Amino acid sequence: MTTFQSSSGDGGPAGNGGQSPNNQGSGFGHRVDQMGSDAQHLWDNARGAVTDLRDSMDLAGRVQRNPYLMVAAALGVGYVLGGGLFTRTTGRLLRLGVRLAALPMVKDELLGIAEAALRGVEVGAGRVADMQGSPSGGSARPQGH
């Protein structure tokens, strides 16, 4: 049968080196206290950072000035953080947004084509009127041979 010996904080077996169980417990307690103070220090730093961020962004003032905009921003942040970014609904909204954004460009292109067609009709009508008003009876043949 194999037995294992526990080791103390200095790497030697327990009970050696003149350490009593009380000394081992105080080392562990000291570590726990150190971890607790480190955690408290981290918590204080995080709280200070959040306070600094809140003060620099002036969230309370922004909410007072633009409440609807801030509600919309909160909805957007919640949607993204809630995992809604990669859903079918987002894809549909993006397609709709692209269509609505492209609508003015398509309208401008269609208006340009229509204006060019109208100019072509006007030019064609002007030529027909010139031909009908010529003294040779509508044919524009050169006189000669």
DSSP letter assigned to residue 13: B
- pLDDT higher at 97 or 133: 97
User: Own/partner pairs for 39-47, CB < 8 Å, 24+ apart?
Assistant: none
Summarize pLDDT for 117-135 with one digit per residue, the tens.
888 888 887 887 777 776 5
Distance, in Å, from the CA atom of 55 to the CA atom of 12, rounded to the nearest integer, reads 54
Summarize pLDDT for 17-34 with one digit per residue, the tens.
444 454 555 688 888 889
Q: Which residues pair with 7 in a beta bridge?
A: 13
User: What pLDDT does 28 receive?
Assistant: 85
Distance, in Å, from the CA atom of 143 to the CA atom of 94, rounded to the nearest integer, reads 67
User: What pLDDT does 67 receive?
Assistant: 93
CB contact set of 8 (below 8 Å; sequence gap of 6+): 14, 16, 17, 19, 24
